[in-house]
Amino acid sequence: MTSAGIRELKDNLSHDVRRSEAGERIAVTTHGRVVAALIESDRGKN
């Protein structure tokens, strides 16, 4: 899992969403601590 700070995620959100759609998991950090994860959704898959 790669990580991105909140500011970095905000600046590159479209790119990071495409990365998560491709199956990559992205840990969202603030002050060096993981607070969330951006992962591919199962919704919309048939």
* Residue 46 scores a pLDDT above 70: no
* pLDDT value at residue 44: 59
* pLDDT value at residue 3: 95
Domain map (residue ranges) of the chain:
2-38
* Residue 8 scores a pLDDT above 90: yes
H helix count then E strand count, the chain:
2, 3
* pLDDT value at residue 2: 94
More reliable by pLDDT, 15 or 41 = 15
Distance, CA of 13 to CA of 35 (rounded, Å) = 16
Dihedral sign for Cα atoms in the order 28, 39, 9, 44: negative
What is the bridge-based pairing of β-strands 26-30 and 2-5? parallel
**Which runs of consecutive H residues, i.e. helices, occur in the chain?**
6-11, 13-21
Domain 2-38 listed as CATH 3.30.360.10? no
